[in-house]
Structure 1
Amino acid sequence: MYTRGGPVRGGGTMPPYLSQRVNDLIDKGNLGEAVTLLVQFLEQPERTQDINGQAAAHEALGDLYTRMNKPDSASSHLINADALYQRLGNPQRSSEVRQQLGQIQLQIQLQQIQLQQR
Structure 2
Amino acid sequence: MKGHLARLGDAEQQEYNAHEAAHTRAQERDPLKLGDRPVPVRLHIIDTMRAVEAALTACADGIAHQDRLRQAALARADLADPRRWRHTGRQAPDSPETCRTPAAAPSSCA
The TM-score, its normalising length taken from structure 1, stands at 0.21
**TM-score scaled to structure 2, two decimals?**
0.22
Greater Cα radius of gyration, structure 1 or 2: 2
Larger helix proportion, structure 1 or 2? Answer: 1
